[in-house]
Structure 1
Amino acid sequence: MITFGPLTRALALAGLLVSAAAAIGPAMAAPADVALLKSYIGEWRGRGVLIGARQESVVCRLSLSQGNQDKVNYNGRCTLAGTNLSVAGTMAYVEANRRYEAVMSSNATFNGVAIGQKRGQNLLFNLRERDKDEEGKDLNISAQIQLSQEAIHVVFEVIYVETGDSLRAEVPFSR
């Protein structure tokens, strides 16, 4: 079993906060699409569990605010076993692509773009990336972020390609 180092745990924390993103081009969205994004503006808090070689508690904060044009900016921070992770970015409905997009950057060298879909009054973002850990081993990274009414639920997983060992985190957020 692999013991997950600080960078791998930081990657996991970055995935937890990818519920929004970093610099998308001009977005011309329908008023309902913009209103749906803006309905999540506010302060969010989450507490969940990270499961890997051992189980650890994760505590997160997320702030969503009005961005330029029809964008929503976010800043977030998670703490896990003395490790802090910060992420920032922007999410928007991009009319040219006819979809929601969230782009993020973090202090853990993790950057990504999540594609969102509207399902009823909910938004569901999916992110799939491939990266390397601090030892150069290949990782498959996936995140699913569901924004629904008064909750945000994040599920994040890191899988070592060579061994199949995994790290999984689930954090529900509320206002």
Structure 2
Amino acid sequence: MTFLGPLSRAAALAGILLSAGFATAPAFAGPNEVALLKSYIGEWRGRGTLVGASTESVVCRLSLSQGNSDKVNYSGRCTLAGTNLSVAGTMAYVDASRRYEAAMTSNATFSGIAVGQKRGSGLIFNLKERTPDEEGKDMNISAQIALNGDAISVAFEVVYVESGDSLRADVPFAR
């Protein structure tokens, strides 16, 4: 079984916050798309569980604010077993792609873009990525975030390709 060290947990936390965060491409969205994104501006708090070789509590904060033009900026931080992870990025509706997109950078050298779709009155963002861990071993990362009404819910999984070991997290956020 692979030891899931602090940097691996940080990558998992990056996925959690990436899922909660969001595109750097030019955005020229209609008023409904912009209003939906802006409805999530504010301060969010989350508490959940990360399950891997052991189970640990995860505590997160997420702040969404008005960005340039029709974009929404975000920054967040999660704490897990003494490890802190911070992320930042921008989310927008990109007319050229006819979709919502979210981009993120983190202090765990993890970055990515999540694609979002409108579902009912909310948004669902999905991310699938393959990236090496701190030892150069490949990890498959998948994440889903649901923005619905006055809640954000994040589900995230990291699977180490060579060993099959995994980390899974579920974190609900509220204002």
TM-score scaled by length of structure 1: 0.97
**Other-structure match for 2:152:** 152
Q: Distance in 2 between matches of 1:17 and 1:138?
A: 20
**Other-structure match for 1:27:** 27
- 1:5 partnered with 2:5: yes
Q: Structure 2: any 5+ residue segments left out of the alignment?
A: none
Q: Distance in 2 between matches of 1:13 and 1:20?
A: 12
Q: Distance in 1 between matches of 2:147 and 2:11?
A: 21
Q: Output the amino acid matched with 1:10.
A: A
> Superposition pairs for residues 102-113 of structure 1, below 5 Å?
102-113=102-113
What is the SS of the residue equivalent to 1:11? helix
Identity of aligned residues (%): 74
Deviation at 1:85, TM superposition (A): 0.2
Q: Output the amino acid matched with 1:4.
A: L
Q: Structure 1: any 5+ residue segments left out of the alignment?
A: none
Q: CA RMSD in A?
A: 0.8
What is the SS of the residue equivalent to 1:3? coil
**Other-structure match for 1:41:** 41
**Other-structure match for 2:101:** 101
Q: Distance in 1 between matches of 2:79 and 2:121?
A: 30
**Other-structure match for 1:57:** 57
**Other-structure match for 1:115:** 115
Q: Output the amino acid matched with 1:60.
A: C
Q: Distance in 1 between matches of 2:160 and 2:108?
A: 18
**Other-structure match for 1:88:** 88
Q: Distance in 2 between matches of 1:105 and 1:136?
A: 19
Q: Distance in 1 between matches of 2:36 and 2:106?
A: 25
Q: Distance in 2 between matches of 1:20 and 1:30?
A: 21
Aligned residues: 174
Q: Output the amino acid matched with 1:141.
A: I
Q: Once superposed, which parts of structure 1, at least 4 consecutive aligned residues long, lie more than 3 Å away?
A: none
What is the SS of the residue equivalent to 1:27? coil
Cα deviation, 1:11-38, whole Å, max 9, x if unaligned, reads 00001111223x6122111100000000
What is the SS of the residue equivalent to 1:32? helix
Cα deviation, 1:58-108, whole Å, max 9, x if unaligned, reads 000000000000000000000000000000000000000000000000000
What is the SS of the residue equivalent to 1:135? coil
Q: Distance in 1 between matches of 2:82 and 2:170?
A: 18
What is the SS of the residue equivalent to 2:12? helix
TM-score scaled by length of structure 2: 0.97
Q: Distance in 1 between matches of 2:3 and 2:121?
A: 40
